[in-house]
Amino acid sequence: MRKAKQLETAALARLRERLEKADSLRERNREKPFEFLAERGFRFPGPMGELFMDVYQGRVDRAIGLAGRGGGKSCEAGALAFALWAFDDWNVGIVSGSREQALRVIEYVQDITGDEVVAEIVAEETKTLVKGKRGNWIKAASASTKAIRGLHAKGRKMLLILDEEAEMDPAIVRSALSVVSDAKRAVVLRLSTMHKIDGTFADLVDRHEKMGYRLYRWDSFDVATRCKTKDCADCLDAFSQGNTPGELGQLARDFHDRYCRERAKDTKRPEGWIRVETIRQNYMEMPTSWFETEVMALKPSGEGKVLDYDKVKAAFEASPAKFVPGAPIWGWVDWGFKGQMTAGVYQAVGNDVLLVDATAWTGVDVEVLIAWFRGKEEELAVINPDSSHPFENNKLREAGWEVDEVVFGAFKETGAGFLKWLFDRERLKPCAKFPDVLAQLLAWSRDAQGKIIKGFDHYCDGMLAGTKRLSAGMGEGTARFRKWDPGAGKGFFRMRRTGRRAEMMSDER
């Protein structure tokens, strides 16, 4: 380990000495970075070149690079990092979604410098790739809050690159974005393939204009080699030779009609590096949803959020609501799986539902949950848990609460609808920020068939279970509102009975 550190230090020293003797390099190439990089084998076709020059020349300070696998995102990151560092004394921080991704960016920087400055990157560590005689640096880190702490600008111009952001935890992204707060000029470049339907990168792409970002999108055809055939029919005929089964021939035609459409023959774009034959083979081997995401840089198929992003975000960013002593409150529980569970408390105040509290545990006994509910307002009389854990639900009954179980198979869409109704009308108001709850609500999504996707949704399930208290009595059967003071709830939460049916009344009616 010590020997490796000595070799790394020596490589940095050699590079710095060479750069100190080569200020002419800086002067010669400041105005023409593309030529300098082209001599070292770098190419920036289409939107890649636009992104590079818009950032380099100061036209854009917040940029998104959305591309498929092998589309040159890490290459762009390494080249832009070097150009701003070498030609304009910037600090550059590169945060990658994984150790392997960080090494890939490092390799591109080393291709330019000519020295193997860093041969290894360790989790939780920040690695200095190069440091100039004026003190500016390029540093790289895999996604960890500890490693990111070493990236602060400290008053110098700084470029922050998030490479493969879709693989990063939201907490890592938030931590990384804060390192440019003290920069003289801050540029943020966020790169990724959108292989997840939720998370910070998917939300950023959806709302980039509102968030002040410019989106640059390129797919594999934008960085492909040019097709050498004069006519697309020649390409299809060549592929069909050699006893190719008819089904494959049809796939090739589908590929041409749906995606290629002679784009590979475009002579106006610079030559790329991905062979058209490779793109076509990917189409034949991959499910369509994979191909469109990984190769064509499209959103995952079926993407659709359960709740309105802006409405949910606004609710949690507003000033916290205040708990009202004496107003009706009730609890909710999602037992989850593998020992995970979430619990919370709602309160009805006029037309609003307040999220009073919410918490989560892993691998704890039901007695912990009972103690947590005991610490709440003594008027809490009803709990809505999911029905998957009858033993634990019975324990809640034995503890003295009325337990109105929620069968997700029958109620999930109804509960999700109630949550959407409350957020859309700005009637659900948290009493605290609850960042984990917010993250899950924003990520809550549906698949291509419109079905709610299971995963990272324990708070969502718990909160929708709690809406059963609101919907109780909307259909046939007995409405359970024990200890509900008819005078305390006004407007939307005032109840009346008509025979066997309890109706919810709104001030709008």
Query: Residue 449, Cβ neighbours under 10 Å: how many?
Result: 6
Handedness of CA 280, 284, 288, 294 (dihedral sign): negative
CA angle 216, 218, 223 (to 5 degrees): 135
For every one of its 509 residues, what pLDDT tens digit does the chain have, with 9 covering 90 and above? 455 555 545 555 555 555 555 566 677 778 888 888 888 888 888 899 999 999 999 999 999 999 998 899 988 988 898 899 888 889 998 888 776 666 677 777 767 766 554 445 445 567 777 777 778 888 887 766 666 776 777 788 999 999 989 888 888 898 889 888 888 899 999 999 987 767 899 889 989 999 999 999 999 999 998 877 666 666 666 555 544 455 556 777 778 778 887 777 776 777 888 988 888 888 877 767 778 888 999 876 545 788 988 899 999 999 999 999 989 999 999 998 666 799 999 999 988 999 999 999 988 889 999 999 998 866 788 999 999 999 999 999 999 999 999 988 888 888 998 899 899 889 999 999 999 999 899 888 887 667 888 877 899 999 999 999 886 533 322 223 333 333 333 333 333 222 322 333 233 32
Task: State CA 417 to chain mean position distance.
Answer: 24
Handedness of CA 138, 139, 143, 146 (dihedral sign): negative
Radius of gyration (C-alpha) of the chain in whole angstroms: 28
341: enclosing H helix or E strand = strand 340-349
CA separation for the pair 406, 403 (Å, rounded): 9
233: enclosing H helix or E strand = helix 232-240
pLDDT at res. 131: 76
CA separation for the pair 53, 75 (Å, rounded): 15
CA separation for the pair 102, 96 (Å, rounded): 5
CA separation for the pair 483, 381 (Å, rounded): 7
Handedness of CA 269, 271, 276, 282 (dihedral sign): negative
User: Torsions phi, psi of 205, nearest 5?
Assistant: -65, -40
Half-sphere exposure for 290 (CA within 13 Å, toward CB): 8
201: enclosing H helix or E strand = helix 200-206
pLDDT at res. 502: 30
- Answer yes or no: are the C-beta atoms of 107 and 41 closer than 8 Å: no
Residue 435: C-alpha distances to residues 124, 206, 296, 345 (Å): 24, 20, 33, 16
- Answer yes or no: are the C-beta atoms of 171 and 145 closer than 8 Å: yes
Task: State CA 423 to chain mean position distance.
Answer: 21
Local structure of residue 406 (DSSP, 8 states) = B
pLDDT at res. 248: 58
pLDDT at res. 201: 92
Beta bridge partners of 402: 382
pLDDT at res. 298: 85
CA separation for the pair 48, 496 (Å, rounded): 63
pLDDT at res. 29: 78
**CATH assignment of 2-218, given 1.10.287.3510, 3.30.365.10, 3.40.640.10, 3.40.50.300?**
3.40.50.300
- Answer yes or no: are the C-beta atoms of 364 and 355 closer than 8 Å: no
Query: Residue 374, Cβ neighbours under 10 Å: how many?
Result: 12
- Answer yes or no: are the C-beta atoms of 505 and 492 closer than 8 Å: yes
Q: Which of 149, 142, 146, 66 is nearest to 104 (CA)?
A: 142
pLDDT at res. 372: 94
CA separation for the pair 273, 48 (Å, rounded): 13
Q: What tokens appear for 386 in the block? A: 């999911």
pLDDT at res. 495: 31
The domain ranges of the chain are: 2-218, 223-294, 309-505
CA angle 29, 220, 300 (to 5 degrees): 120
Strands of 117-185, DSSP E: 126-131, 137-142, 158-163
- B/e letters for 40-52, b = 16+ CB within 10 Å, e = fewer, are eebbbbbbbbbbb
CATH architecture of 309-505: 2-Layer Sandwich (3.30)
